């Protein structure tokens, strides 16, 4: 983010800002002009979410659990300190619970009241996670919601829905995909998507296809 807030941020010449981008730009300029926020503080916040907070953190946790049985046991027993072992934590991740997908059970995370979300491991919540249709239908018709995300499970697979709150945030430990034996942690982390850790997706196979 540019330090000189009297000029537009860098973007290709001739390009137009979307309505949301324009509103954010106007709000940012107003807050800076009124002295409510410091440009340096905004830059630090953006840098934090771009490099330190995001789904890549959760992917590291998943990859470690796939390769280290002792860590996996600690993660499922008491997730917050286990995640902290990887240097991950902070607001929104003080009370974490990790639930494990198995061939018999698939887990789906929602926040029915608002949009409580484990920021330290997953970053900012997607728009659909905060939308009323997802928040309502994930509880009423989880199998139908999963199908809309392209996830079709056997009828014998039980779907468990977890409701995140301001006190407790959930993350899904997806099943390790077939064909990933021999991959190191970094390679395994590359197979883990944000949606897989919410439960609306599955880990990818090494070939790049979503696991059936």
Q: What is the pLDDT of residue 16?
A: 66
SS3 52: coil
Residue 105 domain boundaries = 55-198
Which residues form the catalytic set?
A: 111, 114-116
Q: What is the pLDDT of residue 101?
A: 98
Q: What is the pLDDT of residue 43?
A: 54
| Sequential pLDDT tens for the chain (212 residues) | 444 433 344 444 444 666 766 776 777 677 777 777 776 665 545 545 555 557 999 999 999 999 999 999 999 999 999 999 999 998 888 999 999 999 999 999 999 998 899 999 999 899 999 999 999 999 999 999 999 999 999 999 999 999 999 999 999 999 999 999 999 999 999 999 999 999 999 999 997 544 43
For residues 79 and 178, membership in a common domain is answered with yes
For residues 33 and 128, membership in a common domain is answered with no
Residue 13 covered by a domain? no
Locate 44 and state its tokens.
């630090």
Strand partners, 105: 158
Helix (H) or strand (E) holding 157: none
- Measuring CA to CA, which residue among 7, 10, 58, 50 is closest to residue 32? 7
Q: What is the pLDDT of residue 73?
A: 98
The count of structural domains within the chain is 2
For residues 183 and 115, membership in a common domain is answered with yes
Locate 120 and state its tokens.
């330290």
- CA 65-197-57 angle, to 5 degrees, is 65
For residues 47 and 121, membership in a common domain is answered with no
Residue 97 covered by a domain? yes
Q: What is the pLDDT of residue 97?
A: 98
- From residue 200, give the alpha-carbon distance in Å to each of 75, 81, 126, 157: 21, 25, 12, 15
């Amino acid at each position: 983010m540019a330090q000189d807030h009297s000029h537009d941020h860098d973007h290709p010449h001739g390009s137009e800002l979307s309505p949301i981008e324009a509103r954010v730009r106007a709000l940012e300029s107003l807050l800076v002009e009124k002295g409510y926020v410091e440009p340096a503080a905004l830059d630090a916040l953006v840098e934090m979410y771009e490099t330190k907070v995001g789904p890549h953190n959760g992917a590291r946790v998943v990859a470690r659990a796939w390769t280290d049985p002792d860590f996996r046991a600690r993660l499922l027993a008491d997730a917050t300190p286990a995640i902290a072992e990887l240097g991950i934590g902070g607001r929104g991740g003080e009370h974490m619970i990790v639930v494990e997908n198995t061939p018999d059970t698939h887990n789906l995370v929602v926040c029915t009241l608002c949009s409580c979300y484990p920021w330290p491991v997953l970053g900012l919540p997607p728009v659909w996670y905060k939308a009323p249709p997802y928040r309502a239908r994930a509880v009423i018709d989880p199998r139908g919601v999963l199908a809309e995300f392209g996830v079709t499970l056997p009828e014998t697979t039980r779907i468990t829905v977890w409701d995140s709150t301001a006190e407790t945030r959930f993350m899904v430990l997806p099943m390790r995909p077939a064909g990933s034996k021999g991959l190191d942690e970094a390679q395994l982390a590359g197979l883990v998507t944000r949606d897989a850790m919410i439960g609306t997706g599955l880990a990818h196979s090494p070939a790049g296809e979503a696991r059936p």
